[in-house]
Amino acid sequence: MVAGVELGGTKSIAVIGRGDTILDSFRVPTTTPGETLGALAAKLAEWRRIHRPEAIGIASFGPISVEQGRMLPTPKPHWAGADIVGPLAAGFDRVAFHTDVTGAALGEGRHGAGVGLSDFLYVTVGTGVGMGIIANGQPVTGMMHPEAGHIRVRRRAGDDFAGACPFHGDCLEGLVSGPAIAARAGKPAHLLTADDPAWRDVADALGEAFAMLFLTLSPARLIVGGGVGLGQPQVLPMVRERTVAALAGYLGFVDEHSIAERIVRAGLGDEAGPLGTLVMAQGVLPGA
């Protein structure tokens, strides 16, 4: 039995379970660290008395310091510098901590679209763009966790949209995130029709980014989740087409015949993150 917490920018969830079975869950809005972490910690204390979980996995929105267990400077009010692991890990001897997108990647790797693969990426496209990179079965962490959502991509000719990222303008997140789509189109993504030209702009940017990721990391698969990634079924076929075009035949394992297996929808949907925290917790148990 293990516990997990997924901290999101708008809502957070605590879960307890075994394997791919969530026995109980608890959701709270993400407000201030005191309110949110306090409510989650109280539920975890209750579960420790009842279920006696052996470990906890904590996956958080970022940017975070994986080593220190803290939030780094973030635009979300009140959260910069917040101690994440301390309040949530109290009473647990074994703790795993990483980003929310890495947690989701581990969930997909164990139970979803990444089963059987040792090298793959999980990309979430929604309010922001995040990437969890799994290499040799392990999440990639260098000086800090990857922030590949902020890479620059080649723009199509004539596209002069300034982008919506407050740091970089027209980085990938500044071009394809929910706020970027709304800024470009003048209305939220969920109100756009499937044939709106804004989706071609999204597909162009993602296709360029995915081609670069195949070239640099050589993953067996790119798994796409998030509200934009999963909520707009017309986008993924366009992204696949653009990726193949950008590679121009250079990679034999990514072509028009294999692309549907190389870029896929997430298999777990909204459950990827919560299940991923349980996978993280299981990973720090003896003999894992």
Q: What is the pLDDT of residues 60-82, one digit of tens each?
A: 998 999 999 999 988 889 999 99
| Residues 211, 91 within the same domain | no
pLDDT of residue 287: 80
Query: Rounded to the nearest 5 degrees, what angle is found at the Cα of 95, between the Cα atoms of 130 and 34?
Result: 70
Q: Tell whether 259 and 275 lie within a shared domain.
A: no
Which pLDDT belongs to residue 210? 98
Q: Which residues of the chain have pLDDT under 50?
A: none
**Assigned domain for 34 exists:** yes
Do residues 93 and 58 share a domain? Answer: yes
pLDDT for 121: 97
Whether the link from the prior residue into 63 is cis, omega within 30° of 0, is yes
The enclosing domain of 75 has a CATH number of 3.30.420.40
| pLDDT value for 156 | 85
Residue 156 sits in the same domain as residue 234: yes
Provide the domain limits for residue 32. 2-105+270-283
Please report whether residue 202 resides in a domain. Answer: yes
**In a shared domain, residues 216 and 121:** yes
Q: Does the residue 223 lie in any domain?
A: yes
Number of domains in the chain: 2
7 in a structural domain? yes
Structure tokens at 157: 């000719």
CB 57 within 8 A of CB 280: yes
Q: For residue 135, which of 113, 151, 114, 112 has the smallest C-alpha distance?
A: 114
Asked whether residue 288 is domain-assigned, the answer is no
Are residues 96 and 233 located together in one domain of the fold?
Answer: no
Looking at residue 252, what is its pLDDT? 95
- Position 288 scores a pLDDT of 72
pLDDT of residue 208: 97
Q: How far apart are CA 152 and CA 171, in angstroms?
A: 5
Residue 35, domain member (yes or no)? yes
